[in-house]
Amino acid sequence: MTEPLIDIRNLEIAYGGGHMRAVRGVSFALGQEKLGIVGESGSGKSTVGRAIMKLLPPTAVVSAERMAFRDVDLIKADERKMMTIRGRRIGLILQDPKYSLNPVMRIGEQIAETYRFHHPKVSAKRTYAQALDMLEAVQIRDPERVARLYPHEISGGMGQRVMIAMMLIAEPEVLIADEPTSALDVTVRLEILALLDELVSRRNLGLIFISHDLNLIRNFCDRVLIMYAGRVVEVLEARDLDKARHPYTQGLLASLPRIEDPPARLPMLKRDPAWLNDLTVEVRR
């Protein structure tokens, strides 16, 4: 068995001096694969991704038996060491490009800046050429024109491609994608997923794909971690999701809408208003 790219054992993350536990005993290993982390809002999935990058706020208390990237102990790594890892060896794609891209810098300059930070000895001309090549790699038409635009002049789907280009230009070994398609329409979402799938396969990356969309994860990833209340409750191959044994995973699967479901199975307020009353009572309890 090859050495994992990311190896995490018994990760604990808490706030409020350690009294509010956000992540509880999370363990997993990442190889050259697409690993999906699924859970509802507040389950701790994004917190795990940011812990790997050491981008949690100073109030976070982080401990683990092991949290390593290759041979680097991420728990002991100081900020100077992390600066050589973030972007260069581990990339992070955030949810919405309009909050991540600098609004006063042109697209090409932002991508070139990322490359220049990790390759300071490369000439400015060569750096900009690399930025254009990367825009072409993420299937943006007319990269020279797009490179001259500002973030507000491009669409959400194109902005997400730009974010992917920024993270891949330094040729990282691991990519963490935190809800990268949630703000996109269905057609653009499929294009971004196809692009990520191609790039991961071609570059032999390890991908951590964080999402609340179980249906998306099961069709895109190789393995799935199900998180609930800060814990990993189940780990299984994506193709085996229908064999899930944990009640929470089974509940997530049962909540997925199916076209073949007859209307009689769904609660109808006009036909049975008592259903709404029962739900209200349960929520108040």
Residue 259 lies in a domain: yes
Per-residue pLDDT of the chain (285 residues; tens, 9 = 90+): 478 999 999 999 999 877 889 999 999 999 999 999 998 888 999 999 999 999 999 999 999 999 999 989 999 999 999 999 998 899 998 877 777 889 999 999 999 998 998 888 899 999 999 999 999 988 888 999 999 999 999 988 888 889 888 988 888 999 999 988 776 777 777 888 888 888 888 888 899 999 988 888 888 999 999 999 999 999 999 999 888 998 888 888 888 776 665 554 444 444 444 544 443 333 333
Query: Could you give the angle at which helices 107-118 and 156-168 cross, rounded to 10 degrees?
Result: 20
d(CA 129, CA 109): 11
| Domain harbouring 271, CATH code | 3.40.50.300
The domain in which residue 232 lies consists of 1-32+39-82+213-285
Residue 12 lies in a domain: yes
Residue 140 near residue 196 (C-beta atoms within 8 A) = no
Residue 102 lies in a domain: no
d(CA 153, CA 170): 25
When divided into structural domains, the chain yields a total of: 1
Residue 226 lies in a domain: yes
CA separation (Å) from 264 to 241, 257, 261?
26, 14, 8
Residue 267 lies in a domain: yes
Residue 252 lies in a domain: yes
Residue 111 lies in a domain: no
Residue 185 lies in a domain: no
Which helix (H) or strand (E) is 223 found in, with range? Answer: strand 223-228
| pTM value surpassing 0.75 | yes
CA separation (Å) from 152 to 128, 133, 205?
21, 22, 30
Query: Could you give the angle at which helices 186-203 and 156-168 cross, rounded to 10 degrees?
Result: 10
